[in-house]
Structure 1
Amino acid sequence: MSLRCALLGAGRIGRIHGTNVARAVEGATLVAIADVDAAAAGELATRLHVPVVTTDYRDLLARDDVDAVVVCTPTATHHDVLMAAIAAGKAIFTEKPIDLDLRRIEAINAAVAAAGVPMMVGFQRRYDPDFARVREQVAAGVVGEIHVVRITSRDAVPPPRSFIATSGGIFLDMTVHDLDMVRFLTGREITGVYARASVLVDRMFAEEGDWDTAVLTLSLEGGLLATIDNSRRAVYGQDQRVEVFGSAGVVAAVNHTVDRVVSADASGGRSARLMAFFPERYVDAYRLEMQAFVDAVRGGRPMPVTGEDGRRATAVALAATQSARENRYIAVT
């Protein structure tokens, strides 16, 4: 039987997930959409031929013909939305971060465990084929003992001011993906962070109490080290690279370009531009992530990315925020 899904939130990320559930994921059907913006919900429902539209997500949680919810509402709403979905007994896919407060995340995770409902957290980069292949090679021993992980993550387009104000800041919104990737690639926990951050792209970030550029140094179990550099604007396109270096070698994933064609003449060589932004760069990852969620729910298997994964990445992101503010190393427990 197809997993009947309701989309909660029809913004940018909601449109990505909703389109995948409706058109690209096997074993799932998009049966309803909720968004406080009736026009946004209606436009997406029309485009995807979804029969039920509402401005109140609770209407969908009460329906017997909804098996699962895909939560793409603003992070500040997650606690109430997730608690209501848990109480309704729905399977849950939720975008990251689960919440901006560790105590609320722990309460949500405890409620999930008590109710016995499945909940998966959306860290789509785990499903990027290149990054997944890096992890496979690291796990197979290609690099030997891991020494250093390096991640570059630079967005092509800065977020709007309205988003920054409720996002929790660069570390909780953007870097949290990279922190999860460090855990994913190494299989080790992060034990501490030293972060420095600046406003170099747009004064708007400072006005909202945030930064747009950051560099982190991480310590991990076993003495491993990792570095992450972030920017909210890379004028040349979406810059997403990872490298794992160890005693026996190195494995790396390079940037994606709009095509793989290169040319050269007497003036030099040329290659295609990088992907325009994250939706294009991670188109496969978003689809594969949602397929993994649907397959796990239908098969009664454990969620591949758990609430605890979400909690751990958020804990380091909060520590990085503290480190940047206080200019000191912060241990993570």
Structure 2
Amino acid sequence: MGILTIGIIGAGRIGKLHADNLKLMPQIKIKAVSDVVVDHLHEWAASKEISTLTTNYQDLLADPEIDAVFICSPTNTHASIIKEAARAKKHIFCEKPVSFSVEETIQALEVVKEHGVQLQVGFNRRFDPNFKKVHDLVQQGEVGQPHILKITSRDPQPPSPEYVRASGGLFMDMMIHDFDMARYVMGSEVIEVSAYGTTLIDPAIEEAGDIDTAIVSLKFANGALGVIDNSRQAVYGYDQRLEVFGEKGAAAADNCRPTTVEISTGENVVKEKPLYFFLERYTQAYIAEVTQFARAIMENQSVICTGNDGLQAERIAKAAKESLLSGQPVKIEHKKYAVN
């Protein structure tokens, strides 16, 4: 395949970001973009050499020139569009999560499998060079048998109550990234979850039916333990850290900062705050994930982050919500979904 022709469904912040990153690859052509409103997109589309704007995403699925679609629309549309795209024989990149329902996700994966197309789920943190390095070190045995995983993921500011209501909740919207990282880095399934959560930042989040502060304990099939902490507001920036401790030592990834400069004086030692926004923190990861997706399609390889990976992260998120509500640990049976 010489040129891979792409259509993007949803031209919000993440859809535009993917367009920017796809434009970095000369073998990619973005032919069409759909959104519920396109009047404000004409100048942007022209700057990206995108020839078609439409309010109907099905126009992209009906276009025989389009090889693959990026689904960047609201989560409640993902599963149905995945099924339509698969039936139209389009390869699919879908933002996380696939759906808010494990059953609905399985149905979508069935259709993808039936029609033989590729599906990559947008867990971009797998492609971050720091986290990937920790993953590689663990898989190479550098820390020996893993014993403890620690993940810290804290946003710089909370989302709006309107966003919270439509998000699926903290576990499905925010911590789902960390559930995927836990499986990815440890190379083992999570078999039990204990979740604790509360609202300490914004009462409006509680009124919207969610929490803004959470700690989740994990048990892995390989015997290791894990802990994840999330907060919707870290006043010092976007806090993203990870550590794997094992029998031979530990591997850790720290926050990314604007520079590595540290000023030491008689009064104090000062270094810069973490990068503030997720688009800054994961710039390289976003580029790498779309590059890998395009390469997988063009070279007929398997994608790195499959529909099964999306499904298993959703199962952990669902179990965490059940644990929060019940106050009890919840066991998980991870039935692997064969993608081929």
Query: Shorter-chain TM-score category?
Result: over 0.9
- Structure 2 unaligned blocks of 5 or more: 334-340
Question: Which secondary structure does the structure 1 equivalent of 2:120 belong to?
Answer: strand
1:263 aligns with 2:226: no
Displacement of 1:313: 0.4
> 1:172, 1:317 within 8 Å by CA — same for their partners in 2?
yes
Q: After the TM superposition, which residues 110-125 of structure 1 pair with which residues of structure 2 at under 5 Å, given as runs?
A: 110-125=110-125
Question: Which secondary structure does the structure 1 equivalent of 2:20 belong to?
Answer: helix
Instruction: Give, in whole Å, the separation in 1 of the partners of 2:247 and 2:26.
Output: 41
Match of 1:291 in 2: 291
> 1:94, 1:120 within 8 Å by CA — same for their partners in 2?
yes
Q: After the TM superposition, which residues 1-333 of structure 1 pair with which residues of structure 2 at under 5 Å, given as runs?
A: 1-22=2-23, 24-333=24-333
Displacement of 1:40: 4.8
> 1:41, 1:54 within 8 Å by CA — same for their partners in 2?
no
Instruction: Give, in whole Å, the separation in 1 of the partners of 2:115 and 2:21.
Output: 28
Instruction: Give, in whole Å, the separation in 2 of the partners of 1:162 and 1:43.
Output: 29
Letter in 2 for 1:27: Q
> 1:10, 1:40 within 8 Å by CA — same for their partners in 2?
no
Instruction: Give, in whole Å, the separation in 2 of the partners of 1:82 and 1:223.
Output: 35
- Structure 1 unaligned blocks of 5 or more: none
Letter in 1 for 2:154: R
> 2:196, 2:216 within 8 Å by CA — same for their partners in 1?
yes
Displacement of 1:326: 1.3
Count of equivalent residues:
332
Instruction: Give, in whole Å, the separation in 2 of the partners of 1:130 and 1:196.
Output: 28
Displacement of 1:49: 2.7
> 1:119, 1:303 within 8 Å by CA — same for their partners in 2?
yes
Question: Which secondary structure does the structure 2 equivalent of 1:316 belong to?
Answer: helix
Q: Deviations over 1:110-144 (max 9, x none)?
A: 11111001111111000000000001111111111
Q: 1:207 to 1:42 in 2, by over 3 A?
A: farther
Instruction: Give, in whole Å, the separation in 1 of the partners of 2:214 and 2:99.
Output: 22
Instruction: Give, in whole Å, the separation in 1 of the partners of 2:286 and 2:73.
Output: 17
Instruction: Give, in whole Å, the separation in 1 of the partners of 2:19 and 2:159.
Output: 21
Q: TM-score, normalised by structure 1?
A: 0.97
Displacement of 1:315: 0.4
Q: 1:9 to 1:233 in 2, by over 3 A?
A: same
Q: TM-score, normalised by structure 2?
A: 0.95
Q: Deviations over 1:137-180 (max 9, x none)?
A: 11111111110000000011222222211110000011000000
Letter in 1 for 2:125: R
Instruction: Give, in whole Å, the separation in 2 of the partners of 1:161 and 1:27.
Output: 41
> 2:80, 2:108 within 8 Å by CA — same for their partners in 1?
no
> 1:10, 1:44 within 8 Å by CA — same for their partners in 2?
no
Instruction: Give, in whole Å, the separation in 1 of the partners of 2:37 and 2:21.
Output: 21
> 2:82, 2:112 within 8 Å by CA — same for their partners in 1?
no
> 2:158, 2:232 within 8 Å by CA — same for their partners in 1?
yes
Instruction: Give, in whole Å, the separation in 2 of the partners of 1:296 and 1:262.
Output: 41
Letter in 2 for 1:12: R
Off by >3 Å, runs of 4+ in structure 1: 39-44
Instruction: Give, in whole Å, the separation in 1 of the partners of 2:76 and 2:257.
Output: 34
Letter in 2 for 1:231: S
Letter in 2 for 1:93: F
Letter in 2 for 1:210: D
Match of 2:336 in 1: none
Instruction: Give, in whole Å, the separation in 2 of the partners of 1:196 and 1:82.
Output: 33
Instruction: Give, in whole Å, the separation in 2 of the partners of 1:194 and 1:62.
Output: 45
Displacement of 1:228: 0.1
The alignment yields a C-alpha RMSD, in angstroms, of 1.1
> 1:34, 1:41 within 8 Å by CA — same for their partners in 2?
no
Instruction: Give, in whole Å, the separation in 2 of the partners of 1:153 and 1:16.
Output: 22
Letter in 2 for 1:162: E
Letter in 2 for 1:213: T
Letter in 1 for 2:8: L
Letter in 1 for 2:116: G
Letter in 2 for 1:138: V
> 1:15, 1:44 within 8 Å by CA — same for their partners in 2?
no
Which stretch shows the higher mean deviation, 259-268 or 3-12?
259-268
